[in-house]
Amino acid sequence: MAKKSSGNNLKLTVGLLVVFLFVSIFTTSSLMRSCFADNTKRGFLYKKISRIMCGTNVDIHRSYYRRLGVDVLSAKSNVRESEEFSVARGETAEKLIDGSKDTRAAPAGHNFDYTISLANLYSINKINLSWGDDGQASGYIDSWKLESSVDGENWEVIASGDFPKERETSVRKDFVASMLKLSGHSEEQWIGVNEVEIIGKPIKK
């Protein structure tokens, strides 16, 4: 009986060690991943533990390129947004950066012209332009242009094109900006844009 009890105790101990090891690995892995993520919306305790794991005075995720969200972006239309159509349908400039390709920004006209402001100076290496149906349907977007600026006064053309012929266009280019401008024109139809996805990281001052 003593040997059987000892064997059961050993199995229990080994089982508990395996569970403890698994939980430790999972927890450590989760916390280490947080070093490379944006933790601004996490709870206080999670942030505290992450800082211990990743470094006391450094937000490691800020050193890596990531998709920029509404916490560091704002958008406005440089052409009048129709109260009857654009505003009433919820197709205002903010929809450009709301994180959803199912929503749409459209001023209700043959031209769109949007400025996206970044919270700081950012290094950017990729921008995805989601046109939605307007990028595939003939007669809609005839031409478009993406520009960048570091001061809001001097602008550089990053990319431009004619009818996209696709729902999404990826612009891969390394540049620095604090503002972006996206404009487009159609001879026949009212046009808009579904989403502008910006991949970048803040430049440390």
What's the pLDDT tens digit per position in 96-125? 999 999 999 999 999 999 999 999 999 999
Same domain, 176 and 89: yes
If asked whether residues 47 and 97 sit together in one domain, one would say no
DSSP string, 80-109: PPPIIIIITTT-SGGGGGSS-SSS-B--SS
Confidence of residue 64 (pLDDT cuts 50, 70, 90): confident
Q: Where do runs of H (alpha helix) occur along 35-144?
A: 44-54
187 and 102: one domain? yes
Residue 121 CA: distances (Å) to CA of 87, 132, 147, 171, 200: 30, 29, 15, 19, 10
91 shares its domain with 47: no
Question: How many separate domains does the chain show?
Answer: 2
12: confidence class by pLDDT, cuts 50, 70, 90: low
Higher pLDDT, 40 or 182: 182
Given 63, 85, 112, the domain boundary residue is 63
Q: Is the per-residue pLDDT at 33 higher than 60? A: no
pLDDT digits (tens, 9 = 90+) for 159-184: 999 999 999 999 999 999 999 999 99
Show Cβ contacts of residue 119 under 8 Å, excluding neighbours closer than 6 positions: 71, 72, 73, 202
Residues 44 and 87 in one domain: no
Q: Are residues 33 and 52 in the same domain?
A: yes
Q: Among 62-66, 126-130, 154-158, where is mean pLDDT lowest?
A: 62-66
Do residues 35 and 47 both lie within one domain?
A: yes
Q: What is the mean pLDDT of the chain?
A: 84
Contacting residues for 83 by C-beta, under 8 A, at least 6 apart: none
92 shares a domain with 46: no
How many other C-beta atoms are found inside a 10 Å radius of the C-beta of residue 53? Answer: 15
- Averaged over 77-103, what is the pLDDT? 96
Band (pLDDT 50/70/90 cuts) for residue 137 is very high
